[in-house]
Chain A
Amino acid sequence: MLAKALRPLVTIKASPLSLTIRPLSISSIFFQDASSKSKKKDDKSLVEKKSDEKVLRVEDSLKDLSSVKWRTEYNGKRLWPHDQWPERDLVNFPPYKLREVPNSVRWYCVPESWFKFFYEKTGVTGPYMFFYGLLIYGFSKEYIVLWYDFTEYLILAAAVITVVKKLGPTVGDVFRGWHQEEVDRYSSVVSNSKAMAGKVLHAYEDSLERAKSIGLLADARKDIINMGLEGAYRERMKQMYEAVKKRLDYQVALQNARKDFERTNMINWITDQVKQSITAKQEQDALQACLQQLRQIAS
């Protein structure tokens, strides 16, 4: 044993022979390999030879990882490069998932799994009775000695529980807020970029829609102009009509006036001539005839 301790420490080479035999004990570290020692003595030059180069192996203890190669076949079926692990048992050994909340706990130190375990055998009050029973056992057997410092412990327990119950959630939220701020510093970069990208896309879509309606605007402007032109055309037509009608009305009025003048002139001349030709005798005869007619009508 002493000789073993005094033996100079020599590094162990991972020779091909030693890879197959890997006992999980520390005696192998202190085992001197005679073959490795002889190899070292022959290596006098500092220039590397490819045959003597040793690569540091990362994991020698895994059984199958030392021969990791891309496999092309498994159980007669073709294995593709993207699907090299057909033996993976995802049912019994599911992949790792980060948990959301820690295990729930009663009285700040007793896990819920113990309560669930004893529920079938003792019911809901089982663990409670157990711990209270322990307390009472301690008092009765004087493992918990009721000396003058017991009051301090009682008050301390009450104070601690009150403080933790009142300030616990607040303090936790404050710390979680600080942590979340730091996390948001990193994650906000990407989420803000996404939001800005979304806004820009929305604006682009709106501008594309507006681009579609530019044709309608042009048509509307054309319609407005056409309507104005039509209005002006109609107004001018109206003016033309009124002008022509005015001239024609003048001619008509002129002719009517001429005729009217001729007629009145003729009538006046005729009546004047007739009145001049009426003698006194004709007047008397006309009067007598009218009186006779009146007498006939009256009788």
Chain B
Amino acid sequence: MNDTWYSKTNETIIPGNPDRIAIRWDPLQYLNLAKYLKVFNEYPHDFNPRIHGPYCPWRYYGKRDLHFGDVKLVDIPAWIARRDKTPMGIYQGGIRTFWKFYRAFLDNKKPNLIWYTQIFAVASLINFVFFAIPDRKHYKWAKYH
């Protein structure tokens, strides 16, 4: 054998590396889904480990802004205008919400089942508002309320 399947000079090269494979057609480019998901697996733009330390997905690393409870009713449109409303921003906000929920109820030494009851309550509300009320409209006792 005039060549080994592993690299003798650089051990960080692993099989499947398209830079190393000399064939023209590599089936791995159809199997490798990580490159499509890479966009969703990147750190936020404002994250700097030198300043912020290890990455915490529940934190927002941009400029600090008022909490929704502290903003006045008059400033709400301006506050909403300052938010990042791009798809990536919305996606990152959703991820942060999930991680905040996880840290609030699941990431501790004495977990309980409140996380389950909360999801159950929200799902019940959605079912009630969007599916049960229309079904029960036929059984109303009065027409006008």
Chain A interface (Cβ within 8 Å of chain B)?
Answer: 9-13, 24-26, 29, 40, 43-48, 50, 52-56, 59, 61-65, 85, 87-90, 92-93, 95-96, 98-103, 105, 108-109, 111, 117, 140-143, 145-147, 172, 176
Contacts and interface: CB of A to CB of B under 8 A. Distances in A.
Contacts of B115: 102
Contacts of A147: 136, 139
Contacts of A88: 50-51, 53
A111 B117 CA distance: 12
A188 to B, nearest CB: 18
Interface of B: 2-3, 7-10, 12-14, 17-20, 22, 24, 26, 29-30, 35-36, 38-39, 42-43, 45, 47-54, 56, 59, 64, 69, 88, 103-112, 114-115, 117-118, 120-121, 133, 136-137, 139-142, 145
B18 A11 contact: yes
A172 B109 CA distance: 13
B53 A95 contact: yes
A25 B39 contact: yes
Nearest to B109: A100
B42 A64 contact: no
B84 to A, nearest CB: 12
A161 to B, nearest CB: 11
Contact of A24 (B17, B45, B53, B111): B45
Closest 9 CB pairs of A and B: A54-B19, A61-B42, A99-B108, A109-B121, A11-B18, A145-B136, A103-B104, A102-B105, A46-B3
Contacts of A92: 64
A109 B114 contact: yes
11 contacts: A47-B2, A48-B8, A53-B13, A54-B20, A99-B109, A100-B109, A108-B121, A111-B104, A146-B141, A147-B139, A176-B110
Contacts of A145: 136-137, 139-141
Nearest to B36: A29
A87 B39 contact: no
Nearest to A22: B42
A54 B145 CA distance: 73
A48 B9 contact: yes
Given A93-B51, A141-B145, A142-B145, A101 B117 contact: no
A147 B136 CA distance: 9
A51 to B, nearest CB: 11
A282 to B, nearest CB: 142
B14 A102 contact: no
Contacts of A105: 114, 118
Contacts of A64: 48-50
A109 B117 contact: yes
Nearest to A61: B42
Given A43-B22, A93-B52, A143-B133, A29 B145 contact: no
Contacts of B145: 140-142
Nearest to A105: B114
Contacts of B3: 46-47
Contacts of A89: 51-52
B51 A26 contact: no
A93 B59 contact: yes
A50 B18 CA distance: 16
A63 B48 contact: yes
A160 to B, nearest CB: 10
